[in-house]
Structure 1
Amino acid sequence: MSAATRLRTAAAVALTTLLTVGAAALLTGCDPENGPTPLPTGAAPAPETTRAPAASPSGTPSGTPAVNGTAGTRLTISNGTDHVLMNGTSVDFGIVVRDLAWSPDGRKAAFISGSGDLVTANPDGSGRVVVARNPGGETWSHPTWQVASAHPDNGLPAKDNIFFAAAKGGVSRLKGIAATGTGGTPHVLSLGTESGENSPALPQTGNTWPSGGGDYGTAAYANSDTGEVFIRDEYLRQQGSALTRGSQPALSPAGDDLVFVRSVDGHDHIFEGGAGERPVRDLTPTATTDYTEPAWSPDGRTLALRAPDGIWTMPADGSAAPVRVSSYTGLPAYRG
C-alpha cells in the first residue's frame, strides 16, 4: 500500500473522529523573521501574559502586555534567538535556535544553530549535541524527525533520523542523518518514484520544508520549483508522488493527514487533504490575514498557525476559526 493510499484511508477515519470532538477540542496550544524579543532571561512562569520587552521588533509598544499563551500547553515558539517560549515562560538554550522541531516523544529538540549546524538538545537547552556540522557554503533549514518503530514481520528496523533542507548555490535538496550521531555527514535523501509503469521522475532539487509523521517513516515536503507538496514513503520500498499544489506542509503526528499553505485572493490560507482522490479543503476560508507555518498538536486535534500579529490556534477539523493565543511572532511547534 502506497503512502498516499494509507494517508487517504487513515485520514477518513481520523477526520470522522475529529468531527465528533468539534470546537471543544480547541487547545491553546520558526524560522521567524522580525520576531519579538523573547521574554527576559529567568522570567518566572506566567499564566497568560508577561511584561513586554522595552522594545519589541514586532511593534508591541513599551509597557503593553504581550500575550504569551503557551502556559499549560505543549506549544512552543522560537524566533531565531537563544530563547524559546514554552509553558508560559522563556527558556534560554544558550545558543541561537532556528527552525525548532521536537521529537515525537517531546524529549529532544532539533534546530539549526547560529553557526548553521544541526543541533539537538534537551527541552531546557542542556545536553546540546552537534549532530552534523555545516561544511560552509550551505544554508540548512527546517529539520524534522523520522521516528518509526521496527516492523519485524517485514524485516524493517526502527528508524531515528532527522531530515532537513540544504541549499547551496541557490539549489535546495533534502538531506538526512541519524539523530543519535555526533558531527556526522548528512546524505542527500533518496526520493524515488511512485509505483507503476511510466511513472514520472520526481524533482531532485528545489525541495524544502520536510515534515515527518506516523509510524512508517513517512514525510511530506514542498518543491519551490513546481509549487507542489510531495509525499515520501520508505515503508517497504522508497517511493513518492506529488499530492497537490501548496507549500509548508505539515504531516499529522499519526501520519494520516496533511495540512499545507496555499494562497487565496491575496492571503495565505491553511488547507487540509490532497492525498489520493480526496479533495483539498480550505480550513481558513474567511481569512483576512496570512496564516502560515502550521504545526500539529501531539493529539492531532489542534493546529497552531503563524500570522503577522502572533500565533493562532484552531481545531484541526476546521470546525472553528483561528483564535490568537500569543502576540509573540515566531515558528510554532508542539512538544510531543
Structure 2
Amino acid sequence: MSTSTRRQVHDAMSRLGYVRRRAPRGVSARRSDQLIAAVVCESPQRLFTEPFYARLLAAADDTLAGHGVPMMIMTATPNTSTITAPPLVAGTVDGILLIGARERHPLMVTLAASGVPIRSIGRLPDGLEMPYVDMDNRDGGRQAAEHLLLAGRRAIAAIGGPPGLPGACDRLEGFLQTLAKAGMTNVPVAYGDFTHASGGHAMQWLLGRIPHLDAVFAGSDTMAAAAIQTLKRAGRRVPDDVAVIGYDDAPIARHTNPPLTTIRQPIEELTSVAVRLLLMATATGETPANNPILPTELVIRDSA
C-alpha cells in the first residue's frame, strides 16, 4: 500500500472512531446468525438494468444460501458512500462482498480501514490492498486481438469500458498490447460505461474517426450489441465489412443479429469462489492469502 493510501486509511479510521474487533482467544469468529453484505459500487438504476449484476448477485445468493447465510444488497456511489459506510463498519455485517470497485471511490479507503472481512469481485484499483478474485481480463483482450489479426483485419478500433474500473482497463490493455506486438499502434479507442447507449455513441464516434474500419472490440456485450446496430444503420455489414467482438458472453450475445463472437468470463464460478473465500475469512478470522485469477475463453459465433 502506498504512503498516500496508508495515510488515507488511517484518516478514515480516525473519522470512524474505529477499533479493530478481535474475537476472544479460542473462540470462533463465525456466528450462527452471520450476515454478508454485497456492496455494488453503482447506482440502483445500473444495478437493476445491467444483466451482469443480476447474474453475479444470483450466484452469490445461491452460494451463501447453500451455507445457510443470508445476503443483503447495498449500492454505493461516491455521492452515497458516507451513508453506506457506517452500517458496514459498525458490526452489522460479518463480511463484505465488494463489486465494481473503482478508482477514487471514497468507500474503498473506509472499508480498507474497517477490519471487516472483505473479498472483492474484480481486481482493486492500484494502491489498495484487499483480497479479490478476478478474471484474466488481459488475456481475454489478447484472445480478441489475435482472433481479429488471424482473420486479416487491419483497420481495428476498440470501445473501452470505464477507465477507472480495473477490469475494463485490463481488457483494453490486453487487446492493445497484442495489436502493438503485431505492429499496430495508435489504435483508435472510444470509451463507454458498459451501457447500450454508450456503445452506440462510441461506435458512431469511431466511424467518424476511421470510416473504413474493418473490426471493433467492445469491452462488454451490451456495448457490442449497440455497435452492431450502429454499424447497420451506417450501411456496414457485420461481419463482411466490420467484425465485432464483445466481452462477457451474456445472454444478449446469442440474440444479436448476427450472434456475437465474445469473450466468455465465468461469472458464476468467479462469484462462488469469492463467496467461499469470504466465508472462510469470517469463520477463521484469517484472510486466505491467495487472489485467484480465473481463465477467460473466446466464443466464436457469426459476428467475427
The structure in which a higher percent of residues are strand is 1
The structure in which a higher percent of residues are helix is 2
What TM-score comes out, normalization by structure 1 length?
0.26
